């Protein structure tokens, strides 16, 4: 056993099981951080594009102009709200094209299409979140496996020594505990990020639900205005 307790030296002299456990934990940490950074960027991008579309909706643009802008915008330039609005308007036009004249049928069809798109948007936001939850819950046990194995190996080695001292015990125990330390450093950020993302996605779901009702109300108002004035320019 070595008396050098630096992490690099401990890992150099560790058993192959402990080395494999540490390698697995490092891969799990890299995977979780990739997911964390990806979701952070996605949520910020969604917040920015949704804010821009909210500004358009609350401006003096007609539904026809909003729909036309949504069709022109590239895939990467659209937020979840704009895609939901586009899906609802597309369904509305398809129903009108099939000769549906009932206001309730038109509104309900558009609402269902928007809610379907909302579920797709939420599924995209939640994709790979299960990996964060898995890393957060499993990595401590993986680290514990390395620790238990390392301690067993250390005591097996001590059994061959006639006079056991702290200098003999410390390196083996420290080597084993490194796996637990790495496991905790892997699990804690994953659990924090998972809980934060779940909370943020729940808030986004509430905002999207309110946005759908706002779009449906605008459609209803447009249909009423069209019926009363006879003009068809609001969705021309």
Residue 18, in any domain of the structure: yes
Residue 66, in any domain of the structure: yes
Residue 62, in any domain of the structure: yes
Residue 1, in any domain of the structure: no
3-state secondary structure 43-88: HHHHHHHHHHHHHHHCCCCCHHHHHHHHHHCCHHHCCHHHHHHHHH
pLDDT in tens, 82-121: 999 999 999 999 998 898 888 889 999 999 999 999 999 9
Q: What is the pLDDT of residue 178?
A: 82
Domain count, the chain: 1
Residue 114, in any domain of the structure: yes
Residue 2, in any domain of the structure: no
Please give the structure tokens belonging to residue 188.
């804690």
- Domain span holding position 22: 7-235
Residue 158, in any domain of the structure: yes
pTM: 0.80
Nearest to 144 by CA among 2, 25, 13: 25
Q: What is the pLDDT of residue 16?
A: 78
Residue 164, in any domain of the structure: yes
């Amino acid at each position: 056993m070595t008396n050098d307790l630096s992490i690099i030296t401990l890992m150099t002299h560790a058993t192959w099981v402990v080395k494999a456990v540490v390698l697995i934990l490092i891969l799990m940490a890299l995977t979780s951080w990739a997911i964390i950074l990806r979701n952070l960027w996605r949520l910020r991008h969604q917040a920015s594009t949704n804010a821009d579309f909210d500004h358009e909706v609350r401006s003096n643009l007609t539904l026809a102009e909003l729909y036309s802008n949504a069709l022109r915008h590239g895939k990467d330039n659209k937020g979840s709200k704009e895609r939901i609005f586009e899906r609802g308007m597309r369904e509305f036009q398809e129903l009108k094209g099939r000769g549906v004249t009932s206001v309730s049928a038109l509104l309900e069809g558009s609402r269902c299409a928007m809610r379907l798109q909302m579920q797709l948007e939420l599924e995209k936001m939640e994709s790979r979140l299960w990996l964060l939850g898995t890393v957060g819950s499993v990595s401590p046990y993986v680290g514990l496996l390395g620790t238990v194995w390392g301690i067993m190996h250390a005591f097996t080695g001590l059994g061959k020594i006639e006079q056991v001292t702290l200098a003999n015990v410390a390196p083996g125990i420290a080597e084993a505990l490194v796996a637990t330390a790495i496991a905790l450093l892997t699990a804690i950020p994953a659990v924090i990020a998972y809980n934060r993302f779940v909370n943020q996605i729940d808030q986004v779901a509430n905002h999207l639900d309110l946005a759908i009702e706002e779009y449906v109300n605008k459609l209803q108002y447009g249909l009423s205005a069209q019926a009363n004035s006879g003009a068809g320019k609001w969705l021309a």
